[in-house]
Amino acid sequence: MSQDVLSPARANEITGQASRRRTFAVISHPDAGKSTLTEALALHARVIGTAGATNGKSNRKETISDWMQMEKDRGISISSAALQFSYRDTVINLLDTPGHADFSEDTYRVLAAVDCAVMLVDAAKGLETQTMKLFEVCRQRGLPIITVINKWDRPGLDALALMDEITERTGLIPAPLTWAVGIAGDFRGVWDLQRDRFVHFSRNNSGASIALTEYFTPQEAAAKEGDAWTEAVDEAGLLAEADAGLDRESFYAGRTTPILFSSAALNFGVKELLDALVDYAPAAAARPDVEGGARPVEAPFSGFVFKVQAGMNQAHRDHVAFVRVCSGVFERGMVVTQTRTGKSFATKYAQQVFGREREVIDQAYPGDVVGLVNASALRVGDSLYVQSPVEYPAIPLFAPEHFQVARSKDPSRYKQFRRGIDQLEHEGVIQVLRSDLRGDQAPVLAAVGPMQFEVVEDRMTHDFGAPMRLEKLPYSLARLTTSDAMQTLSTVHGAEVLVRSDGEILALFNDIWALRRVQKNHPDLLLEPIGTQSRSGSAG
């Protein structure tokens, strides 16, 4: 253990760096403005000169977070990485989550690697299906959530009605940090409740540069904005009476959610969000390990892989494992050990990746994300460390809802087919289920969102030279079961039992009725919902 002891100065430096980190992701229903907000945040941090070039669907092909050919073809962002920038005296790590209508496990994995989530809500639509799904994942993970009501420049719902919806549907008590002055569609600015001042926004180059802001005292605001100001103060006052004051404890415990209003497209309210992240969001802190301890941030380097991505670079179809640093300093070239295998390897190629932008990084601190290039032995959920070993909890494997049988189109390429399927499974692109009945030639691919199949097809053809055929299965529901179920369910219509590569036995059902029938007829059969289980790969 003595080798783990750092000099007090070094330990202090690491603790200081960790406390400067804010690592978060934006969660939203597609079209709520996630890409627009990401770019507005980057603009504020002056990472990119103008936001307009990459803003919105019409120019989406230029969007900084697009990289796969398929993404470009479809104009959607499938993969995710991290954007890092400095703001005030902090380092902000914004982890990009896929923005398409389908779900994929990627989104969930990103949420395993952040310390906070920003829930972006379209002012005209309120909480939508995917916002709710993602919110639920955050709740399960105990992630604090900042809520941003976006598109306030357009006609939308009433602000208090939106607050009621948040409380009713999420159970979170809204605690406004800013409150909109002017109804949706007539966005004049916000009352900054923390600093008790009116932040007046004016339109400027339709969002291509930072919004012009002026600050006024409440008295000046009342004179300037009249009823709009009085109403804002009354509304926020009503919420304050409902005890919506913000304290860090209730925010971190998931009881309250700080509220902000924005128009990402006009860059209104974006600086206020950055300030909220700096002032309120949790800094990178010690992360619990599987043994119930927590390796302090100033301990020697450790981290875990939350995402593996291949084919990011058209020129060299490479393989990048994204690691969230949990403790210590990551230094490029350091030799780290993979907990699952006990193997060590040198991290010669380490990068920071966001969209097509890549930069070699030499150092990273807790909260940061490092892309390890060509680390093909790494899998999602793997822990890495130097000096004393650590294992971080596995990333939950989510319940698949879509199932398709895969077969090689060309029997002579069966070897490539198998290698490809195995590799994609290791990367976490897809879950693979097998049964004696179906045989190895026809594994069942299982996904959270159907787009995962498209990624598999594309990768199988282009990366592995093993084009395949997919055939949809009628199942939509999976439950964890035991080997007893194999016999019992072999005769049941609308059900099938398969074994996942991590050893779990899954019973698949056509629909909830098929499941209920089985539960009724075989009450002793174990049929557990999936969702809290772990990727056992990381347990060795």
Would you tell me which residues interact with ligand G4P (CB under 6 A)?
28, 30-36, 55-58, 99, 150-151, 153-154, 263-265
CA distance 79 to 65: 8
User: Which residue lies nearest ligand G4P, judged by its C-beta?
Assistant: 56
**Residue 98 structure tokens:** 């896929």
What are the distances in angstroms from CA 378 to CA 343, 443, 502?
10, 23, 16
Nearest residue (CB) to ligand G4P, 55 versus 84: 55
| CB 255, min distance to ligand G4P, A | 27
CA distance 189 to 121: 18
Identity at 167, one-letter amino acid code = T
Q: How many CB atoms lie within 10 A of CB 241?
A: 8
Angle between helices 105-112 and 129-141 (to 10 degrees): 40
State how far the Cα of 127 lies from the Cα of 134, in Å rounded to an integer.
11
Which C-beta is closer to ligand G4P: that of 128 or that of 357? 128
Nearest distance in Å: CB 56, ligand G4P? 2
Query: Which residue number, 55 or 538, has a Cβ lying nearer to ligand G4P?
Result: 55
Q: How far is the CB of 33 from ligand G4P (least distance, A)?
A: 3
Residue 32 CB contacts under 8 Å (≥ 6 apart), including other chains: 120, 121, 122, 125, 128, 131, 150, 151
Which secondary structure element, helix H or strand E, spans residue 43, and what is its range?
A: helix 34-44
> Which one, 55 or 327, has the nearer CB to ligand G4P?
55
- Sign of the CA dihedral running 111, 281, 29, 366: negative
Distance in Å, CB of 166 to ligand G4P, minimum: 18
Taking the least distance from each CB to ligand G4P, the nearer of 39 and 504 is 39
**Closer to ligand G4P by Cβ: residue 354 or 509:** 354
Nearer residue to ligand G4P within complex by CB, 60 or 319? 60
What is the closest distance, in whole angstroms, from the C-beta atom of residue 121 to ligand G4P in the complex? 11
* Tokens of residue 464, six digits: 């592995």
Residue with tokens 């103060």: 233
Non-local CB neighbours of 253 within 8 Å, separated by 6+ positions: none
196 DSSP 8-state letter: T
- The minimum distance between CB 87 and ligand G4P, in angstroms, equals 20
CB of residue 120 vs ligand G4P: minimum separation in angstroms? Answer: 7
What is the Cβ-side half-sphere exposure of residue 516, based on CA atoms within 13 angstroms? 3
Closest approach of Cβ 318 to ligand G4P, in Å?
Answer: 26
The least CB distance from residue 367 to ligand G4P, in Å, is 24
Q: How many CA atoms lie within 13 A of 207 on its CB side?
A: 25
- 534: phi then psi, degrees, rounded to nearest 5: -115, 155
Q: Give the phi and the psi of residue 15 in degrees, each rounded to 5.
A: -60, -40
H helical segments located in 449-530 = 451-462, 484-489, 512-521
Q: In the complex, what is the shortest distance from the CB of residue 449 to ligand G4P, in angstroms, rounded to a whole number?
A: 15
Nearest CA-CA partner of 264 in 151, 183, 158, 146 = 151
Name which of 38 and 93 has its Cβ closer to ligand G4P: 38
Cβ proximity to ligand G4P, 32 vs 329, nearer residue? 32
Q: Residue 426: exposed, middle, or buried by beta-carbon count in 10 A (0-12, 13-18, 19+)?
A: middle
Q: Give Cα separations from 282 to 97, 244, 277 (angstroms).
A: 19, 19, 8
Nearest approach, Cβ of residue 175 and ligand G4P (Å): 22
* Closer residue to ligand G4P, CB minimum distance, 45 or 530: 45
Shortest distance, position 28 Cβ to ligand G4P, whole Å: 5
Q: How far is the CB of 24 from ligand G4P (least distance, A)?
A: 16
* Largest interatomic CA distance in the chain: 80
Please identify, using beta-carbon distances, which residue of 77 and 90 lies nearer to ligand G4P. Answer: 77
- The residue (of 26 and 163) whose beta carbon lies closer to ligand G4P is 26
Measured CA to CA, the distance from residue 212 to residue 452 in angstroms comes to 42
Helix (H, G, I), strand (E, B) or coil at 336: strand
Q: In terms of CB distance, is 171 or 185 closer to ligand G4P?
A: 185
